[in-house]
């Protein structure tokens, strides 16, 4: 079945390639930290990203959406740059930028769900919901590691993410179930 939604097809292609970039980044991040507990946690997040990539590909295959060679190349380079930079940019920035990235990734999956639903397709709801929630859990983990760092207020002001700002409206302590999750990641009307 062909998917007649160019934005959704493109978002799936981007997500597929970006998940590999994120996994590469977490390989570098885990390798650069000394704490064994942190290494294990970051390795689990890397594994989650590889799993998301596999799940996105399954959806793409169902709708004959080809992998984008451009996105694969672009995100490969980005992921490798981040991988190696984790060894030279210090402790704080890998945590900060990982959290900021995950914060934005949350809405990709909820946007996909909404667009599929607008076409009357609900069969992917659970997996897209689960991936979006998992990305939120990643965001929370990274923020938790740096929430009291003296650099955070400066970075938050500069990059619009941190203790006071997020790129999504999900609160894991009060999360909505799948059936009521359409309130997530909708842009506010002005």
CATH code for the domain of 101: 1.20.1260
Cα Rg of the chain, angstroms = 17
Instruction: Indicate whether 1 belongs to any domain.
Output: no
Position 187 scores a pLDDT of: 65
Instruction: Indicate whether 190 belongs to any domain.
Output: no
Q: What is the mean pLDDT of each run of 10 residues along the chain (190 residues)?
A: 91 96 94 95 97 98 97 95 92 92 93 95 97 97 96 95 94 93 72
Sign of CA dihedral 56, 58, 63, 68: positive
Instruction: Indicate whether 189 belongs to any domain.
Output: no
Position 188 scores a pLDDT of: 47
Stated as kind and residue range, the H or E segment containing 108 is: helix 92-118
Position 1 scores a pLDDT of: 77
Position 2 scores a pLDDT of: 85
Stated as kind and residue range, the H or E segment containing 70 is: helix 69-85
Residues 48, 127: Cα–Cα separation, whole Å: 13
pTM for the model stands at 0.92
Position 189 scores a pLDDT of: 38
Residues 7, 160: Cα–Cα separation, whole Å: 26
Position 190 scores a pLDDT of: 35
Instruction: Indicate whether 55 belongs to any domain.
Output: yes
Instruction: Indicate whether 158 belongs to any domain.
Output: yes
Instruction: Indicate whether 68 belongs to any domain.
Output: yes
Instruction: Indicate whether 121 belongs to any domain.
Output: yes
Residues 81-104: b if buried by 16+ CB within 10 A, e if exposed: ebbebbeeeebeebbbbbbbbbbe
Position 186 scores a pLDDT of: 77
- Which residue shows structure tokens 């995100």? 75
Instruction: Indicate whether 188 belongs to any domain.
Output: no
Structural contact between residues 99 and 143, judged by C-beta atoms closer than 8 angstroms: yes
Task: Provide the residue range defining the domain that includes 172.
Answer: 6-183
- Please state the domain count of the chain: 1
């Amino acid at each position: 079945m062909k998917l007649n939604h160019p934005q959704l097809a493109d978002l799936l292609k981007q997500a597929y390639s970006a998940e590999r970039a994120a996994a590469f980044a977490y390989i570098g991040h885990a390798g650069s930290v000394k704490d064994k507990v942190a290494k294990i946690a970051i390795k689990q997040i890397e594994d989650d990203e590889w799993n998301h990539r596999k799940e996105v590909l399954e959806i793409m295959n169902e709708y004959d959406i080809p992998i984008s060679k451009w996105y694969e190349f672009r995100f490969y380079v980005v992921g490798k740059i981040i991988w190696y930079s984790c060894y030279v940019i210090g402790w704080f920035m890998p945590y900060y930028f990982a959290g900021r990235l995950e914060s934005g990734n949350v809405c990709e999956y909820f946007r996909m769900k909404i667009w599929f639903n607008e076409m009357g397709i609900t069969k992917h709801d659970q997996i897209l919901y689960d991936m979006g929630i998992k990305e939120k859990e990643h965001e929370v983990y990274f923020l938790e590691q740096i929430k009291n760092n003296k650099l955070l207020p400066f970075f938050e002001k500069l990059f619009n993410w941190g203790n006071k700002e997020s790129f999504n409206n999900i609160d894991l302590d009060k999360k909505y179930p799948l059936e009521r999750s359409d309130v997530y990641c909708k842009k506010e009307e002005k």
